[in-house]
Structure 1
Amino acid sequence: MPPDAPRKAVILAAGFGSRLRPLTDLRPKPLVEVNGTPILHNALRNLEAVGVEKVTIVVGYRKDAIQYACGSRFGRLEINYVESTVFDRTGSAYSLWLARDALLTGDCYLLEGDVFFEEDALRYLSFDNAVDVAAVAPFDSTMQGSAVLLSETGFISGFRMRQTAANLSETGPKLFKTMNLLRFAAATLSETIVPALDDIIGSGAIKAYTEELLAYLVERRGLQLAAVRCDGLRWQEIDNAEDLRVAETIFARACRPSAARPCNASDCSKREFL
């Protein structure tokens, strides 16, 4: 049987979102809207739908706007905040390190605050029998950023940073895009993730990204991180205006039924997937 789904989550939402300016001149990127729904609200609704009870959000840029938009409770979720005062000169691994107390409280979902995705992506993470899982999708010519290689047994075997369409090859290994949606077991967080964060930040590498942390743990420390393929699901990492346009196109389509979420007339009348 798959492990129980986590009841806690951490969302990293401290960054500038400079590539989305001018939309982020007055609001943080996680509050940019896709068809009327803020990116962060979509994540919180999906977390609530899969049984999460407590969420810790790491905030920085325009933190007051996020705290106002989400409050101390969002639906049935209890929301706590951790503030980064140096968000303008640190990477996502530093934000994750700031949330280490939350990471030490049990099994946990980990999300980046700029991914708009449908609920089933989280359900896929919980259906897998592995204890530590990352959502991935095939890397295509429209994508850029971190990618991973998969072993024959479905585990992530290596990371490739700063990939673009130029890195795709019919004869080379197949690349998969990391969706920045992960699930970790309590033991992994306390025995592997948090100690590695302490080492990285203690060494002064405050600009490191979460993907670099995971690459180090997978490639050098033997972390067994299973990959859950989400090929047929809708999702979009939103870094710039073109990403936002793509997300609005994808999520303007009528919803489709799934095993976890049967379709009904009221669902299909909505323009957005909540």
Structure 2
Amino acid sequence: MKKINVIIPAAGAARRLRPLTNSLPKSLLKINDQSIIAHQLKNLPSDKIEKVIIVLGHMDRKIKKHIYSLDLNFPIEYHYNAMYEKTNCAYSLMIAQNELSHGALLINCDLLFKKKNIIRLLESEHYNVATIREIKDYKTDLQKVKIVDTKITKWSLNLESANSEVMGPLKISTLAAKELINLYNLQSYDKQLKMHCFSLISKCINKIIFHSISINDNDWHEIDTIEDLENAKNFYI
């Protein structure tokens, strides 16, 4: 299997995690004895990774220094989003569009995951795959999707017919990446600044066939708030 690039947009100031992020970027907040970014990087299957591209902004030097101290088996490259205070995830992603255009694994900077599910994602026979949770007992604030025989047929922030939610990571093919880049370039400047990565991808769902991999709720954790950070201490990787 061909190795893949990993892209992690991690430029934001994480205002919902203040005051913790007044002195540290979100990626360096600790879950037990490891930073969020260390959990992420150490749970990537190194034999399947070409390189990791991280788009930085808020306190970028602290993140670089920390990552340099980690014992990793794949190269790390960085891009800088100088407009991180005014922009959202899609803007950061497009800063790495050269690497994205070759296909990539897209990971949100606030997501904890298990290595076994990254391997499932990368070894899927499908070119474009999203990691999802099935809606059973409750819903979250994640974007909603309708899944039919593993295929994502609808995707929206608010979708009444949804039976699943997307948390990522996502595997994106070369052709899909080019479609995303083209669509982004067609957006107004204001939309380019404010658009979330998943919102951009959802707009291409009629042109890009995305399949899904469902994972257990015990196998992922998203960190948006201080409460999330406390709850993540029970997430053992």
TM (normalized to structure 1)?
0.79
Offset at residue 43 of structure 1 (A)? 1.3
2: distance between equivalents of 1:243 and 1:46? 20
1:81 aligns with 78
> Out of 182, 189, 200, which is 2:187 matched to?
200
1:215 aligns with 202
* Cα 1:72–1:248 shift into 2, 3 Å: closer
- Please list every run of at least 4 consecutive aligned residues from structure 1 whose deviation after the TM superposition is greater than 6 angstroms: none
> Out of 206, 215, 226, which is 1:230 matched to?
215
Offset at residue 84 of structure 1 (A)? 0.4
Number of residue pairs the alignment of both structures matches? 236
1:118 aligns to 2:103 (yes or no): no
Offset at residue 174 of structure 1 (A)? 4.7
Unaligned runs of 5+ in 1: 252-272
- Aligned partners of 1:82 and 1:98 also within 8 Å: yes
* Cα 1:118–1:87 shift into 2, 3 Å: same
- Aligned partners of 1:235 and 1:247 also within 8 Å: no
What does 1:93-132 align with in structure 2 at a 5 Å threshold?
Answer: 93-104=90-101, 106-132=102-128
Percent identical across equivalent pairs?
Answer: 24
1:260 aligns with none
Offset at residue 198 of structure 1 (A)? 2.2
1: distance between equivalents of 2:134 and 2:161? 12
| Helix, strand or coil at the partner of 1:150 | strand
| Helix, strand or coil at the partner of 1:189 | helix
Residue identity matched to 1:156: I
Return the index of the structure with the highest Cα Rg: 1
1: distance between equivalents of 2:40 and 2:47? 11
Residue identity matched to 2:228: D
1:40 aligns with 37
Residue identity matched to 1:211: F
2: distance between equivalents of 1:142 and 1:249? 21
TM (normalized to structure 2)?
0.90
2: distance between equivalents of 1:64 and 1:76? 21
1:64 aligns with 61
> Out of 113, 133, 137, which is 1:137 matched to?
133
1:128-163 per-position Cα deviation (integer Å, ceiling 9, x unaligned): 211000000124536223221112x211122231x6
* Cα 1:73–1:42 shift into 2, 3 Å: closer
1: distance between equivalents of 2:79 and 2:69? 12
1:241 aligns with 226
